[in-house]
């Protein structure tokens, strides 16, 4: 069990790194959206992301579980972009 938990810890470490990389890109996109005066929320893009991820998942996570996980990630992304748009208003 210790070895499995150690492997999970390494995966968690990588997930945090990747989530931070993703968020950095989200912040860059937020700046571009601010300049373009675009809305931070793009429902079509979010549906596209969830559909793509559901299609590539080989399991054991199903579409519903991925939608739950990514729902939280997308909420954090939207909120970060909203804060960018509110800066300087």
pLDDT per position as a tens digit, 8-30: 999 999 999 999 999 999 999 99
Statement: 2-86 belongs to CATH 1.10.287.370: no
* DSSP per-residue string spanning 27-85: HHHHHHHHHHT--S--HHHHHHHHHHHHHH--SSS-HHHHHHHHHHHHHHHHHHHHHHH
Domain boundaries, the chain: 2-86
pTM of the model: 0.87
| Structure-derived torsion over alpha carbons of residues 45, 74, 34, 52, reported in degrees to the nearest 10 | -20
In percent, the amount of the chain with pLDDT more than 70 equals 98
The pLDDT assigned to 89 comes to: 67
CA distance 15 to 84: 24
Structure token pair of residue 50: 């969830």
Q: What is the mean pLDDT of the chain?
A: 94
């Amino acid at each position: 069990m210790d070895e499995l938990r150690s492997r999970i810890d390494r995966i968690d470490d990588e997930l945090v790194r990747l989530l931070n990389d993703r968020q950095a890109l989200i912040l860059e996109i937020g700046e571009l959206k601010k300049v373009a005066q675009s809305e931070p929320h793009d429902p079509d893009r979010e549906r596209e992301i969830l559909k793509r991820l559901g299609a590539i998942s080989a399991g054991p996570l199903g579409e519903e579980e991925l939608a739950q996980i990514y729902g939280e990630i997308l909420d954090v992304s939207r909120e970060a972009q909203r804060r960018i748009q509110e800066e300087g208003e």
